Chains A and B, each alone.
Chain A
Amino acid sequence: MAEKLLKKGNEAIALAAIRYGADGYFGYPITPQSEVMETLMEEMPWETTGMVVLQAESETSSINMLYGGACCGKKVMTSSSSPGISLMCEGLSYMAGAELPCLVVNVIRGGPGLGTIQPAQGDYFQAVKGGGHGDYKVIVLAPASVQEMYDFVGLSFDLAFKYRTPVMILSDGAIGQMMEKVELREPIKRLTDQEIAEKYGDWATVGKQPHRDGNIISSLSLEASEMEEINLRLQAKYQKIKENEVRYETLQCEDAEYMLVAFGSSARICESTVEMAREKGIKLGLLRPITLFPFPEEGIQKMLPQLKGVMSVELNAGQMVEDVKLAVNGKVPVEFYGRMGGSIFSPGEVFEAFSEKFNL
């Protein structure tokens, strides 16, 4: 059996990066995620797997280093927290446009602006609806435990390369700073340059191959008709992602009459709220979206015939609730409860809000 370690979510991200065969990490420190790079520096993977770990001079610089690395077919990643992610959004749009794979981890802190260092989920819109300019999407995964922080690094790289798209792990200060049991998976070797050329040589800039023209990677296309073609291709890809990659988890939903929808640390808190409600004989369940894009619309819709109401619970002013409402489409009442700016609700506060909104 694999060894079980006690690790912070941020540390798990770093250990996973090395063990899932990442080629490069480029980042800039910011609370509450600085342990990602600190752990990587302590582990010194450049001496074992050959992985590059580099502190860039800024977040803008980090994301553009990812662009360069991804062009060469390398598994590259960065991590930051809210204000740093805002700086990276331009680069993310470029990478989505140029169809480049990468992993960006956002350990959210309270905003807007420089905000605060405590946990929040105020970057949902930024992650799911764009952040940068243009019609693009990134796959967004929302871990709710330290083990998922670890496992989703591997999953993110798989999805990033499968669809040639940036993938974001949307976490928060609570999951990043919390320590839990984590089981390390069997390490995967980094690909050699030759393996990369064989696997990704048809698009990556791995040196011109005799059988084809040189690859050019760019998000620029001045011909409107060409740019529309690119957009259509991107939209077709997002459609495929919607069809194949939705992930979510339900808890006590079999007989539920009411349902909470929450992701990440909020979902953990809501699990306790569900336990509280069940003790009082209220049939409450929880749906936890694991992918925020693609959003588990059908998962919610399947539940509707048995439900009297849905409440979206988030550490923000009400962002995911808009997607919940789109999925519910007026069929049952949708309520929202949240706190902002780094303040966290307790399971009891969620329960009180739920009882009040549905007059229970």
Chain B
Amino acid sequence: MNMKEELIIAGFGGQGVLSMGRILAYSGIIQDKEVTWMPSYGPEMRGGTANVTVIISDKRISSPILQWCDTAIVLNQQSMDKFEPMIKEGGVLLYDPNGISRHPTRKDIKVYTIDAVDLANKMEMSRVFNMVVLGAYLKVKPILETENVIKGLRKSLPERYHHLIPLNEKAIEVGMQHVKEV
């Protein structure tokens, strides 16, 4: 069976949305998959929200622009409003309830939560927030080997941050442990 995962990650600029997508895409390459990473770079980015479309597939990828997605990772309210309707029937919505006032209502998708803001703060490292989310995602959708994700992380982080890799690894584990199905 050919694997193809079409994923949208969306939140505020600065939450590490784009870099999370980049780590996934790099991990995909390490695992010999085809990948595309398509960021929003328009005025919406300058206005504070950011999103990225990541496609990981065994086969050549056609459109990098999606109409529907298999999974949406949602990290703020605007993104919830925009992307909940885009998830395919039977798809996955993963979100951090922190700052979400209108929770998802669809019954034909699987919904998961991860308290990534709280968990990252408890680790006294709010910057690994996105890695907690990434861990939660990989638990729900184990499309890539964790080992390759760590390699992907190494590839996409500048060397001056490589001393932070163990912390990031820890954050991925924490995310994996704490993701909850709603």
Contact = CB atoms under 8 A, between A and B. Distances in A.
Contact of B65 (A4, A6, A275, A344): A344
A117 interface: yes
A279 to B, nearest CB: 13
Given A269-B65, A272-B62, A346-B67, A174 B38 contact: yes
A178 B65 CA distance: 10
24 contacts: A5-B29, A6-B22, A6-B29, A31-B41, A116-B42, A117-B41, A117-B43, A174-B38, A177-B39, A178-B37, A179-B22, A179-B37, A179-B38, A180-B36, A265-B64, A268-B63, A268-B65, A272-B62, A274-B62, A344-B65, A347-B62, A347-B63, A348-B67, A349-B67
Main secondary structure of the interface of B (DSSP, over half): mixed
Interface in A22-38: 31-32
A237 to B, nearest CB: 36
A180 B42 CA distance: 19
Interface in A148-184: 173-174, 177-181
Interface in B61-111: 61-67
Given A174-B38, A344-B65, A347-B63, 9 more contacts: A4-B29, A6-B29, A177-B39, A179-B22, A180-B35, A269-B63, A269-B65, A270-B63, A272-B63
B139 interface: no
Interface residues of A, number: 30
A271 interface: yes
Contacts, number: 73
Contacts of B42: 116-118, 342
B67 A347 contact: yes
Interface of B: 22, 25-26, 29, 34-39, 41-43, 61-67, 155-156
A117 B29 CA distance: 29
Contacts of A274: 62
Nearest to B38: A178
A180 B62 contact: no
B35 A268 contact: no
A105 B88 CA distance: 37
A255 B34 CA distance: 27
A274 B60 CA distance: 14
Nearest to A272: B63
Residue of B34, B35, B42 with most partner-chain A CB within 10 A: B42
A33 B78 CA distance: 28
Contacts of B155: 6
A177 B65 contact: no
A134 B41 CA distance: 37
B171 to A, nearest CB: 21
Given A6-B26, A6-B156, A180 B37 contact: yes
Contact of A174 (B25, B26, B64, B156): B64
Nearest to A350: B63
Given A6-B25, A173-B41, A181 B34 contact: yes
* Cβ-closest 7 pairs across A and B: A271-B62, A272-B63, A346-B67, A179-B37, A272-B62, A269-B63, A348-B67
Interface string A170-205: 000110011111000000000000000000000000
Nearest to B155: A6
Contacts of A180: 35-37, 61, 64
Contacts of A4: 29
Interface string A219-238: 00000000000000000000
